[in-house]
Amino acid sequence: MEKNKQIVEFGIGDIWPIALTFVIAGLGIAYGLQAMGEAQDDMTANSSEYNATQNAIEGVAKFPEKFGTIITIVVAAIIIMILVRYLGARA
């Protein structure tokens, strides 16, 4: 029985949509953090709800810090795939 294998191939043209996705994700996270901060302002300080929203804000705020690493890995993967495809065609 033969399995269908899907090979994901990226090209240099795929960098723009990936970058746009990260920009949109960053904007979504920024506005989400702003909304969570405004919701927290309506709560009593040191209450369970206040502390829960504070923990959520701190947790979500850490995610964009990793965007640089994620983007570097994605771009490196695309470049490696292009090189492998190019060098494989020459062999």
- What is each CA distance from 22 to 55, 57, 74, in whole angstroms? 24, 19, 11
- Domain of residue 63: give its range: 12-90
Distance CA 40, CA 52 (A): 9
CB-based contacts of 61, cutoff 8 Å, min separation 6 = 33
User: Does residue 85 belong to any structural domain of this protein?
Assistant: yes
User: Does residue 79 belong to any structural domain of this protein?
Assistant: yes
User: Does residue 3 belong to any structural domain of this protein?
Assistant: no
pTM of the model: 0.61
Distance CA 40, CA 34 (A): 10
Q: Which residue has the higher pLDDT, 75 or 37?
A: 37
User: Does residue 33 belong to any structural domain of this protein?
Assistant: yes
User: Does residue 1 belong to any structural domain of this protein?
Assistant: no
The confidence score (pLDDT) of residue 10 equals 65
The confidence score (pLDDT) of residue 81 equals 82
The confidence score (pLDDT) of residue 47 equals 92
pLDDT tens-digit series, residues 17-74: 888 888 888 889 889 889 989 988 888 988 999 999 899 999 888 888 888 888 888 8
Only one residue has tokens 């504070």, namely 54
Name the domain count of the chain.
Answer: 1
Is the pLDDT at 7 greater than 80, yes or no?
no
The confidence score (pLDDT) of residue 55 equals 92
